[in-house]
């Protein structure tokens, strides 16, 4: 019987600006959640056997090679992908590398189709790679307007697909937004796209850790995520692709490991879809650690539920607590359509203080870690903030200070929930924001902002070297 995951850093403490020492509350899992103890344990067990892969001769090479094969199978199982239909590839440091690989490959594979549809809520990683290769990117509008906008507008998507049927290469869309936590209707998007021979790339960086993926059912062509978003900081990125498509994607990195035959005149790539994609020495240790963590998550159990369904039920309940708690604070705005459920994260602003100041006070006085600014999703954040920014009253602000004033307002605070968070964490956050709201002057008087809107405490500064025991 396997026990539920434990996380490294759950008890980490930091000094606060008012002279206390508090256990840090990590509400920044959408950037990177804490590491699973299973990842570290697996690495420690693996390292005494450590050896390069691509060999079955000596015992250590057998361990590495077979464990890496198991890691490939495990990621497929984790996302509900049939091994006959889909292949998994470990690539680079995260989702970014995998998306660049698909963008490059699809451009080479279908050069006659140079339009890419990209949703208007994407992380830059699922936007900028598609702007290359002479592509014309058309941004998919969202339902609703501005601060309360929702998911991709399916009727506009259908219209665009009909209008440009033979020109659209693929649609790039995230399953869950890294800003608002809003989910897109992936299965329907795939059904619409496939009618027109348009392929679909899913950025699942923000969804895979929070519930079952069921890729077979979604029938997406490509799905990508980062190992570090699933409690394994040292892991590679993951690309899962339909085998028949992966084989047609030229433009991969070339080198050893991916080829079956090489002469001075030509070479042949391996027949195996995974092998041909993984030139060079893969991140063996990270991939195996990731698979061990995914295996552990698939065996998670709670209240009679198991695996990712149990995780989803637990996190959904916590998200509802979080929304209730934040809605009880009049000064807060929660961005995105209020009717839509949220997965993993949501973004807020406080009417009395800038996002940078709220995030800094939460950290410095309450040891609560949240993220602020635009979360590498500038166009989406700007569109959620559009009315607010337009309505800013600049009449009393000197012209030379107006830009930095606007910079301080351009952003949000993101609160994200992970498997290690509990109802008492939500209470701690809500109480802290209430306290800040009722004693604004006490907290804000110690801060100054730079031109980019970054606030810092005038006296308090964390000594990071001391935290790491480094003499530098
Ligand atoms: C939705 C989404 N896509 C892509 C990325 C980029 O991931 P990585 O930095 O691991 O490549 C992130 C990271 O925050 C993300 O949230």
Of all atoms in ligand 1, which is nearest to the CA of residue 176? 1
Task: For residue 244, give both structure tokens.
Answer: 């028949």
pTM as predicted? 0.96
Convert the pLDDT of each residue in 151-197 to its tens digit.
999 999 999 999 999 999 999 999 999 999 999 999 999 999 999 99
Q: Which residues, 6 or more positions from 298, have their beta carbon under 8 angstroms from its beta carbon?
A: 77, 78, 307, 308
CB neighbours (10 Å) of residue 404? 14
Q: Is the pLDDT of residue 2 over 80?
A: no
Q: Cα torsion at 90, 283, 93, 229 (round to 10°)?
A: 80
Of all atoms in ligand 1, which is nearest to the CA of residue 98? 11
From the CA of 303, how far away is ligand 1's center (Å)? 31
Distance CA 346, CA 165 (A): 35
Convert the pLDDT of each residue in 211-236 to its tens digit.
999 999 999 999 999 999 999 999 99
Looking at residues 357-366, what average pLDDT do you find? Answer: 98
The pLDDT score that the predictor gives to residue 149 is 97
Among protein residues, the one whose CA lies closest to atom 14 of ligand 1: 31
**Which amino acids bring their CB within 6 angstroms of ligand 1?**
31, 94-96, 123, 125-126, 174, 178, 203, 205-206, 226, 228
The pLDDT score that the predictor gives to residue 10 is 97
The pLDDT score that the predictor gives to residue 408 is 87
| Ligand 1 binding pocket mutation candidate from 101, 121, 129, 178 (most atoms within 8 A of CB) | 178
From the CA of 99, how far away is ligand 1's center (Å)? 10
Where residue 4 falls among pLDDT bands split at 50, 70, 90? confident
Of all atoms in ligand 1, which is nearest to the CA of residue 375? 14
Distance CA 81, CA 215 (A): 5
From the CA of 74, how far away is ligand 1's center (Å)? 21
Mean pLDDT, the chain, whole residue set: 95
CB neighbours (10 Å) of residue 318? 18
Supply φ then ψ for residue 262, to 5 degrees: -135, 130
Q: Which residues, 6 or more positions from 354, have their beta carbon under 8 angstroms from its beta carbon?
A: 408, 409, 411, 449, 453, 455
Q: For 82-202, where are the alpha helices, taking DSSP H only?
A: 95-109, 154-163, 186-195
From the CA of 355, how far away is ligand 1's center (Å)? 21
| Ligand 1 binding pocket mutation candidate from 31, 93, 96 (most atoms within 8 A of CB) | 96
Supply φ then ψ for residue 123, to 5 degrees: -65, 150
Of all atoms in ligand 1, which is nearest to the CA of residue 226? 10
The domains of the chain, with CATH numbers, are 7-30+304-463 (3.90.1150.10), 40-297 (3.40.640.10)
Distance CA 387, CA 33 (A): 32
The pLDDT score that the predictor gives to residue 176 is 98
H or E stretch including 309?
helix 307-327
Convert the pLDDT of each residue in 291-341 to its tens digit.
999 999 999 999 999 999 999 999 999 999 999 999 999 999 999 999 999
From the CA of 448, how far away is ligand 1's center (Å)? 30
- The candidate with the shortest Cα–Cα distance to 210, out of 234, 172, 174, is 174
Q: Is the pLDDT of residue 1 over 80?
A: no
Contact 234, 282 (CB under 8 A): no
The pLDDT score that the predictor gives to residue 250 is 82
Among protein residues, the one whose CA lies closest to atom 10 of ligand 1: 94
Distance CA 323, CA 452 (A): 29
């Amino acid at each position: 019987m396997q026990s539920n995951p434990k996380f490294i850093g759950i008890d980490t403490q930091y000094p606060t600006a008012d002279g206390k020492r508090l256990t840090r509350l990590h509400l920044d899992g959408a950037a990177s959640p804490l590491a699973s103890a299973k990842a570290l344990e697996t690495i420690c067990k693996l390292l005494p056997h450590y050896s390069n892969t691509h060999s079955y001769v000596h015992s250590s090479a057998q361990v590495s090679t077979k464990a890496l094969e198991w890691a490939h199978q495990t990621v497929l199982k984790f996302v509900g992908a049939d091994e006959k239909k889909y292949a998994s590839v470990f690539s680079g440091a995260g989702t970014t590398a995998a998306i660049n690989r698909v963008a490059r490959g699809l451009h080479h594979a279908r050069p006659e189709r140079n339009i890419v549809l990209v949703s208007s809520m994407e992380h830059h990683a699922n936007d900028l790679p598609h702007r290359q290769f002479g592509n014309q990117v058309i941004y998919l509008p969202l339902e609703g307007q501005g601060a309360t906008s929702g998911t991709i507008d399916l009727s506009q998507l259908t219209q665009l697909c009909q209008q440009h049927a033979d020109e659209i290469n693929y649609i790039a869309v995230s399953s869950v937004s890294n800003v608002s936590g809003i989910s897109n209707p992936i299965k329907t998007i795939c059904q619409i796209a496939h009618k027109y021979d348009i392929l679909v790339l899913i950025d699942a960086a923000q969804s895979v850790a929070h519930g079952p993926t069921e890729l077979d059912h979604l029938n997406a062509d490509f799905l990508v995520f980062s190992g570090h978003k699933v409690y394994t900081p040292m892991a590679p990125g993951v690309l899962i692709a339909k085998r028949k498509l992966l084989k047609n994607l030229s433009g991969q990195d070339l080198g050893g490991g991916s080829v079956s035959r090489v002469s001075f005149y030509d070479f042949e790539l391996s027949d195996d879809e995974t092998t041909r994609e993984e030139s060079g020495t893969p991140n063996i240790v990270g991939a195996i650690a990731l698979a061990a963590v995914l295996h552990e998550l698939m065996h998670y159990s709670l209240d009679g539920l198991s695996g990712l369904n149990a995780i989803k039920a637990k996190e959904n309940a916590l998200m509802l607590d979080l929304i209730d708690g934040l809605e009880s604070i009049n000064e807060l705005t929660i961005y995105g359509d209020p009717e839509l459920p949220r997965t993993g994260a949501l973004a807020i602003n406080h009417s009395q203080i800038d996002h940078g100041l709220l995030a800094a006070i939460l950290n410095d006085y309450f040891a609560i870690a949240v993220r602020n600014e635009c979360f590498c999703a500038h166009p989406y954040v700007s569109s959620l903030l559009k009315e607010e920014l337009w309505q800013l009253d600049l009449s009393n602000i000197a012209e030379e200070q107006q830009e930095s004033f606007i910079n301080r307002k351009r952003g949000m605070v993101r609160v994200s929930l992970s498997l290690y968070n509990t109802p008492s964490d939500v209470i701690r956050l809500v109480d802290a924001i209430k306290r800040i709201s009722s004693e604004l002057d006490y907290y804000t008087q110690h801060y100054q902002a730079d031109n980019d809107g970054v606030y810092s405490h005038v006296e308090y500064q964390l000594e990071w070297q001391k935290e790491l025991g480094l003499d530098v």
